[in-house]
């Protein structure tokens, strides 16, 4: 071959990274979502939404579903007793409506990110059990009503089963007894009869005691007529662990109960530094997860817990780990992003 032709062939075979990114920019995940009849979502960092135009553009271009990363949690919406602060949660919901995105509400009952007035009141005995139950009812009713008709699905209870399959010994269980779970679902249903109501948890991709206990809990709730509609798999994975190969089967077991299935907080972290090999493994994990979801008809949502390494909870929570998202810090697609685009059931 003549040198010019060789050079041309090389250029065609290996486009520059910038050109690759540019070619992929428009709506790729949105297109993927529409092609497969599922929602592809992400957690939203409200500060970034407000102040970073490139973050906002990518969010609105790529995703058909959003979850507030922190803005709807109890400590965010009622930092002082009786004083509600909705501005951040409203910003997520309003932005979603302007861009044709559906919203997952996250979350109503959890043991983390509770306001200090609540945990301290319980601890020092100024808030007794009967009052705590009223406080929980009011919290659920107020928040669900506020967004009635604008939230497709709520994570009603988050992380209520422990690793050993027992109910988590949160203030809710210890103060109110196990009935708080049924109460929470009933109150949520009353406040917005059309919202889909979910149990959401982590390690449900592989942890048998947790899987069995969660299945049993939901069966029991539904036999009592408690309105549970869906199961959320958080999907926080790391490439230093084996891929949870049975995950799609676990999804099917929940689907067989008649539940919606969603991947609600997917990310795939790695021990830093990043290497091309680790990025390839990460891509394979993301791809298998999406393929698994697509192979289960009840799985119609695939949500990632942040879409860029610029804003991810991982480095702050897992020492020495990071790079868990689909786009890097400058919003350039990583191999995981490209792999999602070609994942099929």
Catalytic residues: 159, 265
Q: Say if residues 66 and 103 touch (Cβ distance below 8 Å).
A: yes
Total residues in contact with ligand XIL, by rule CB under 6 A: 6
Cis peptide, bond prior to residue 107, ω within 30 of zero: yes
- Min separation Cβ 271 and ligand XIL, Å: 19
67 binds ligand XIL, rule: CB under 6 A: no
Rule CB under 6 A: choose which of 69, 229, 267, 301 binds ligand XIL.
69
308 binds ligand XIL, rule: CB under 6 A: no
If the CB atoms of residues 127 and 231 are measured against ligand XIL, the closer one turns out to be 231
207 binds ligand XIL, rule: CB under 6 A: no
Q: Which of 154, 195, 160 is nearest to 181 (CA)?
A: 160
Rule CB under 6 A: choose which of 147, 286, 313, 337 binds ligand XIL.
313
The two three-digit tokens of residue 203, written as one number: 């390690």
229 binds ligand XIL, rule: CB under 6 A: no
Neighbours of 331 (CB within 10 A): 19
Q: Say if residues 65 and 103 touch (Cβ distance below 8 Å).
A: yes
Strands (E), the chain: 39-44, 65-68, 102-109, 153-158, 196-201, 230-233, 236-238, 260-271, 299-304, 321-322
158 binds ligand XIL, rule: CB under 6 A: yes
154 binds ligand XIL, rule: CB under 6 A: no
234 binds ligand XIL, rule: CB under 6 A: yes
In whole angstroms, give the CA distance from residue 65 to residue 187.
24
In whole angstroms, give the CA distance from residue 67 to residue 235.
15
- Min separation Cβ 267 and ligand XIL, Å: 9
If the CB atoms of residues 67 and 101 are measured against ligand XIL, the closer one turns out to be 67
Rule CB under 6 A: choose which of 42, 65, 70, 76 binds ligand XIL.
70
Contact residues: ligand XIL, CB under 6 A: 69-70, 158, 234, 265, 313
């Amino acid at each position: 071959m003549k040198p010019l032709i060789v050079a041309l062939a090389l250029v065609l075979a290996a486009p520059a990274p910038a050109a690759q990114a540019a070619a992929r920019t428009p709506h790729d995940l949105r297109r993927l979502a529409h092609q497969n009849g599922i929602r592809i979502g992400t957690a939203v960092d409200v500060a970034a939404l407000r102040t970073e135009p490139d973050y906002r553009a990518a969010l609105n271009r790529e995703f058909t579903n959003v979850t507030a990363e922190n803005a709807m949690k109890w400590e965010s919406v009622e930092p002082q007793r009786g004083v509600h602060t909705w501005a951040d949660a409203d910003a997520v919901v309003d932005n979603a409506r302007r861009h044709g995105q559906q919203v997952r509400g996250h979350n109503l009952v959890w043991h983390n990110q509770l306001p200090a007035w609540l945990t301290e009141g319980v601890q020092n005995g100024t808030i007794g059990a009967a009052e705590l139950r009223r406080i929980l009812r009011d919290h659920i009713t107020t928040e669900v009503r506020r967004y009635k008709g604008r939230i497709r699905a709520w994570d009603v209870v988050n992380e209520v089963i422990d690793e050993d399959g027992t109910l988590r010994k949160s203030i809710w269980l210890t103060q109110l007894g196990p009935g708080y779970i049924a109460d929470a679902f009933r109150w949520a249903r009353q406040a917005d009869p059309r919202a889909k109501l979910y149990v959401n948890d982590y390690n449900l991709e592989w942890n048998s005691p947790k899987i069995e206990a969660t299945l049993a809990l939901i069966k029991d709730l539904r036999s009592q007529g408690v309105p549970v509609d869906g199961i959320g798999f958080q999907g926080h994975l790391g490439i230093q662990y084996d891929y949870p190969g049975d995950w799609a089967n676990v999804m099917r077991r929940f689907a067989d109960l008649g539940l919606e299935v969603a991947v609600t907080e997917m990310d795939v972290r790695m021990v830093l530094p990043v290497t091309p090999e680790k990025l390839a493994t990460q891509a394979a994990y993301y791809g298998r997860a999406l393929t698994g979801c697509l192979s289960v008809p009840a799985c119609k949502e695939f949500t990632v817990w942040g879409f860029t390494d610029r804003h991810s909870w991982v480095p702050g929570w897992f020492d020495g780990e990071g790079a868990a998202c689909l786009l890097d810090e400058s919003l350039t697609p990583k191999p995981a992003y490209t792999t999602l685009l070609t994942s099929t059931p």
